[in-house]
């Protein structure tokens, strides 16, 4: 393979070369499970899902680890607000997160470690840093000494003297006062009386945020990862601190490549709860097909901001998301094309006709080349669009009077759809199921009653059988005025809702 990825550490696009040839060890920071997955999560995990799919589709073994942070101050805060037991709250949202990732079409990681099951490993790594002179205990807390690590700031390209304390927003004033240097960060935090925690050599407490990922990554992938990924907001302080504590402990590079995806923005501002422009993935699932969200996340290069637009009514209520709706139209086109190909009459598929067009035979290689170039998903989608157009033209020619299709072309088209699934995770579902959901959702949005439409179609069918073509045309025109398009076929009449 010749994959080239932008490495945040060096600021350059470089060949992706795992330590062990043809085996990529990848770690991606997973969610802190105190709420439902938002669109930023959706973008992040679609990006790394495509990366893993691409590497595997081209013959590379991948060990993909994505953690779940189920012990964290944010979880404790939310539990205190809701009255839930912290571990139960975290478990509930972890389950919801997994459901949302599946609906987006993301593969499960090979390993999904949780903080709650790695507490002993975390304590051991903290003690190792203390023993090495890189960390110190202070009134029940343990902090990493940034001054003990000369390369601190190399990922974010920041000067130690300009860094503020508590950049992760997980330290209170008392904890800040216990530090020797403002930029020192917590490896272990003591728990207040009655607060959830775990026993340790430094007292009852819980891990700091950063030490969790270093511990789980090295436990499951070794001391040097081939690639560490996450959102752009994790470069500092999270990933910077992961590098410091990991490399201070092992004396080895923590990751060969650092990969970061851009933000989801609304009106060119980062999506956040404080700005009131925050949407969970579930907020969108009832509005558009989840796979359309996946599609939309690929329309902009993963390192660039992805700006989200919406429409509002006169009272300021959100009425639509034009970009997701357009993505759903493109997804429907993909599935309609796949269905058309599957429905070609076998008797029209023959040997020895003209050679298949390059847009069909070459789509696998085109997707490969696009994704090799720093995971260029917009380019991959453009190649997919050329492929779908060519497949539709093939179907059109085949269904003409006396039309035929070369078996080689049809086989190549099926292989092309398999490449879309393998590389991008698109088109993995039943076309009939997806198109039916899209149709019914559009009908509901227009206030149309699917059962009433089916009754009208039955009346039209009866009229045609009785050769009352005037009545049949009247019903067709009446439905068309409502935006309902009838689809007459050999097996009966179906319907869809016009765009």
274 has pLDDT over 60: no
204 has pLDDT over 70: yes
Measured distance CA(216)–CA(117) in Å, rounded: 10
217 has pLDDT over 60: yes
pLDDT, tens digit (0-9, with 9 covering 90-100), for 421-433: 999 999 999 999 9
225 has pLDDT over 70: yes
Note the pTM of the prediction, 2 decimals. 0.94
Beta bridge partners of 28: 66, 229
Measured distance CA(258)–CA(371) in Å, rounded: 17
271 pLDDT band, cuts 50/70/90, is: confident
Percent of the chain residues topping a pLDDT of 90? 87
Q: What is the mean pLDDT of the chain?
A: 94
pLDDT, tens digit (0-9, with 9 covering 90-100), for 14-28: 999 999 999 999 999
The length of the chain, given as a count of residues? 499
Residue closest to 435 by CA, chosen among 391, 487, 394: 487
Q: What is the pLDDT of residue 278?
A: 77
Mean pLDDT within 65-84: 96
Q: What is the pLDDT of residue 103?
A: 98
266 has pLDDT over 90: no
489 has pLDDT over 90: no
pLDDT, tens digit (0-9, with 9 covering 90-100), for 339-391: 999 999 999 999 976 789 999 999 999 999 999 999 999 999 999 999 999 99
Please check whether residue 242 is in contact with residue 254, taking contact to mean a CB–CB distance below 8 angstroms: yes
Measured distance CA(448)–CA(441) in Å, rounded: 10
Residue closest to 144 by CA, chosen among 135, 155, 152: 135
Q: Is the peptide bond before 14 cis (omega within 30 degrees of 0)?
A: no
Q: What is the pLDDT of residue 279?
A: 87
- Higher-confidence position of 303 and 172: 303
Measured distance CA(458)–CA(472) in Å, rounded: 10
Percent of the chain residues topping a pLDDT of 70? 96
Mean pLDDT within 316-340: 94
Buried b (16+ CB within 10 A) or exposed e, 73-112: bbbbebbeeeeeebeebbbebbebbbebbebbbbeebeeb
**CA dist list (Å): 215 to 122, 124, 211, 283, 399:** 6, 9, 6, 34, 60
45 has pLDDT over 80: yes
How is 317-334 classified by DSSP, letter by letter? -EEE-HHHHHHHHHHHHH
pLDDT, tens digit (0-9, with 9 covering 90-100), for 236-249: 999 999 999 999 99
């Amino acid at each position: 393979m010749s994959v080239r990825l932008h490495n945040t550490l060096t600021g350059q696009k470089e060949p992706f070369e795992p330590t062990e040839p043809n085996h990529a060890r990848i770690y991606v920071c997973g969610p802190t499970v105190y709420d439902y997955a938002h669109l930023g999560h959706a973008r992040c995990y679609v990006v790394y899902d495509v990366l893993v799919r691409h590497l595997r589709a081209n013959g590379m073994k991948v060990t993909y680890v994505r953690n779940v942070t189920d012990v964290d101050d944010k979880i404790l805060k939310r539990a205190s607000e809701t009255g839930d037991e912290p571990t139960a709250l975290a478990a509930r949202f972890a389950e919801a997160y997994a459901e949302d990732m599946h609906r987006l079409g993301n593969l499960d990681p090979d390993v999904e470690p949780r903080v709650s099951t790695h507490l002993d490993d975390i304590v051991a790594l903290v003690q190792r840093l203390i023993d090495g002179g890189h960390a110190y205990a202070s009134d029940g807390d343990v902090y990493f000494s940034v001054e003990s690590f000369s390369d601190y700031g190399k990922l974010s390209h920041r000067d130690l003297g300009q860094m503020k304390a508590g950049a992760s927003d997980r330290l209170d004033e008392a904890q800040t006062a216990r530090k020797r240097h403002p930029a020192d960060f917590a490896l272990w935090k003591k728990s207040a009386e009655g607060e959830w925690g775990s026993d340790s050599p430094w007292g009852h407490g819980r891990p700091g945020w950063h030490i969790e990922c270093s511990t789980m990554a090295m436990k499951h992938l070794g001391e040097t990862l081939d690639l560490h990924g996450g959102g752009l907001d994790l470069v500092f302080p999270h990933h910077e601190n992961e590098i410091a504590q990991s490399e201070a402990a092992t004396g080895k590079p923590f990751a060969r490549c650092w990969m970061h995806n851009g933000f989801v923005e609304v009106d060119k501002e980062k999506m956040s709860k404080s700005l009131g422009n925050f949407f969970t993935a579930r907020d969108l699932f009832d509005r558009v097909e989840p796979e359309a969200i996946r599609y939309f996340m690929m329309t902009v290069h993963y390192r660039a901001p992805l700006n989200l637009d919406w429409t509002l009514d006169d009272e300021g209520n959100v009425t639509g998301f034009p970009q997701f709706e357009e993505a759903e139209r493109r997804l429907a086109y993909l599935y309609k094309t796949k269905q058309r190909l599957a429905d070609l009459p076998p008797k029209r598929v023959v040997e020895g006709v003209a050679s298949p067009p390059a847009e069909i035979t070459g789509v696998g290689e085109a997707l490969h080349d696009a994704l090799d170039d720093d995971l260029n998903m917009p380019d991959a989608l453009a190649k997919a669009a050329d492929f779908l157009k060519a497949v539709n033209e093939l179907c059109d020619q085949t269904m003409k009077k006396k039309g035929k299709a070369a078996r080689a072309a049809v086989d190549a088209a099926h292989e092309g759809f398999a490449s879309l699934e393998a590389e991008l995770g698109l088109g993995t579902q039943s076309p009939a199921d997806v198109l039916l959901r899209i149709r019914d959702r559009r009908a509901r949005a227009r206030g149309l009653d699917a059962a009433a439409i089916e009754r009208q179609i039955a009346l039209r069918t009866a009229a045609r059988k009785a050769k009352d073509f005037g009545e049949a045309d009247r019903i067709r025109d009446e439905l068309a005025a409502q935006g309902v398009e009838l689809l007459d076929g050999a097996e009966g009449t179906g319907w869809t809702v016009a765009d």
